[in-house]
């Protein structure tokens, strides 16, 4: 009798764990920390009844967690704000391909991962912002021009450990080679107005406070400052103007990076995960992103927010974004050699 009961309860356990059983949730490992993301997941839950569970940490921590969990990982999706980290996750065998046509039809073809392992949900440009009082727009041209002696003690930028700067440096290594990247980094360090510190917002505030004249920042931060309810932030946003570097005919275009999402290799709720990716790239979700976080949409049927549209259109660097991961080690070595802290 005891043996029969054991078999009965074991059968119930196996049925309960069966992969055919419909799950009503998604487990998401995310580096993103924006208010708009919470709203997106709430909207998705209302539409589908599928609960979104979110674990937040930096990208490297989440990648290590996925590695350590292996086949037992509960994660369905990995979200990060850097294509280089998505490349690393793919390179480590932590992601699987996404071939769903409902998803790819939502995305500008030029932004799609050519290898199919990750999906962009927004993108941002690494722009220059300059003091309205102390800089003439005509003085600006390229990232490379920032090494000119006229910018001595005038350039502001955050630290070399920041993924946005590492991605920019990776793009310069990929486009121009390591030697050119080293020359650029060394020349830029010579023109720093202070040691790198703080966030992109802090660089803009430093311009407003007269601590420097030109900063390298992500585009969406300017939208956030100009829409802020805090007077200090609004004042900082109004103290600067936006400039897209490298727009000449024979120039690379302004560096861009993506917030992107990858389907984990052992996703236990794959069907639900694909539904979330489809939703996040839909027109409805894209409009919420652009009007809340002021990032650029990846869906070609959605236009940027009015604040962002006012900066005008620009030529994007067409570099394969996977190279932002492939050349990451070289980029970090360039930073170390140049003394960029």
- pLDDT of 215 > 50? The answer is yes
Specify whether the backbone of 139 is left (phi greater than 0), alpha (psi in -120 to 50) or beta. alpha
List pLDDT tens digits, range 234-289.
Answer: 999 999 999 999 999 999 999 999 999 999 999 999 999 999 999 999 999 999 99
- pLDDT of 20 > 50? The answer is no
- CA nearest to 113, candidates 258, 333, 278, 322: 322
Work out the mean pLDDT of the chain and round it to a whole number: 93
- pLDDT of 10 > 50? The answer is no
The pLDDT of 279-301, averaged and rounded, is 97
From 4-13, 145-154, 252-261, the region with the lowest mean pLDDT: 4-13
Give the pLDDT confidence score for residue 22 in this predicted structure. Answer: 58
- pLDDT of 21 > 80? The answer is no
Give the pLDDT confidence score for residue 19 in this predicted structure. Answer: 42
pLDDT band at 175 (very low <50, low <70, confident <90, very high): very high
Rounded to two decimals, what is the model's pTM? 0.90
List pLDDT tens digits, range 304-338.
Answer: 999 999 999 999 999 999 999 999 999 999 999 99
Chain centroid, CA 305 distance in Å: 18
Give the pLDDT confidence score for residue 23 in this predicted structure. Answer: 74
- pLDDT of 104 > 80? The answer is yes
List pLDDT tens digits, range 105-147.
Answer: 999 999 999 999 999 999 999 999 999 999 999 999 999 999 9
pLDDT band at 219 (very low <50, low <70, confident <90, very high): very high
From 7-16, 30-39, 57-66, 331-340, the region with the lowest mean pLDDT: 7-16
- pLDDT of 151 > 80? The answer is yes
- pLDDT of 12 > 50? The answer is no
Question: pLDDT > 90: what percent of the chain?
Answer: 92
Q: How far is CA 243 from CA 59, 108, 215, 253, in A?
A: 29, 23, 10, 12
d(CA 321, CA 255): 10
What b/e string do you get for 25-50 counting C-beta neighbours within 10 Å, with b at 16 or more? bbbbbbbbebebbeebbeebbeeeeb
- pLDDT of 7 > 50? The answer is no
User: Which burial class, exposed, middle or buried, applies to 288 when counting CB atoms under 10 A from its CB (0-12, 13-18, 19+)?
Assistant: middle
Give the pLDDT confidence score for residue 103 in this predicted structure. Answer: 95
- pLDDT of 3 > 60? The answer is no
The pLDDT of 73-102, averaged and rounded, is 96
């Amino acid at each position: 009798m005891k043996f029969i009961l054991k078999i009965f309860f074991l059968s119930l356990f196996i049925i309960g764990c069966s992969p055919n059983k419909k799950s009503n949730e998604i487990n998401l490992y995310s580096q993103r920390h924006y208010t708009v993301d919470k709203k997106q997941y709430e909207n998705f839950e209302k539409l589908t009844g599928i609960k979104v569970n979110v674990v937040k940490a930096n990208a490297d921590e989440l990648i290590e967690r996925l590695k350590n969990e292996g086949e037992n990982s509960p994660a369905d999706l990995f979200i990060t704000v850097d294509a280089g980290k998505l490349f690393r996750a793919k390179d480590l065998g932590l992601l699987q391909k996404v071939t769903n046509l409902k998803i790819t039809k939502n995305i500008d073809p030029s932004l799609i991962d050519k290898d199919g392992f990750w999906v962009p949900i927004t993108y941002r440009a690494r722009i220059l912002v300059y003091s309205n009082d102390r800089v003439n727009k005509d003085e600006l041209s390229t990232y490379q021009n920032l090494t000119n002696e006229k910018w001595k003690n005038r350039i502001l930028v955050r630290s070399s450990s920041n993924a946005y700067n590492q991605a920019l440096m990776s793009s310069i290594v990929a486009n121009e080679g390591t030697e050119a990247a080293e020359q650029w980094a060394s020349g830029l360090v010579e023109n720093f107005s202070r040691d790198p510190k703080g966030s992109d917002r802090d660089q803009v505030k430093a311009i407003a406070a007269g601590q420097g004249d030109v900063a390298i920042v992500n585009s969406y931060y300017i939208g956030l400052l100009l829409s802020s309810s805090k007077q200090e932030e609004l004042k900082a946003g109004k103290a600067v103007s936006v400039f897209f570097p490298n727009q000449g005919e024979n120039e690379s275009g302004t560096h861009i990076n993506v917030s992107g999402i990858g389907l984990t290799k052992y996703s236990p709720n794959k069907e639900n995960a694909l539904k979330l990716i489809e939703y996040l790239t839909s027109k409805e979700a894209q409009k919420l992103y652009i009007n809340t976080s002021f990032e650029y949409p990846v869906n070609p049927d959605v236009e940027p927010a009015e604040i962002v549209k006012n900066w005008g259109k620009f030529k994007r660097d067409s570099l394969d974004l996977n190279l932002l991961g492939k050349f990451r080690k070289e980029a970090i070595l360039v930073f170390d050699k140049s003394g960029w802290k």
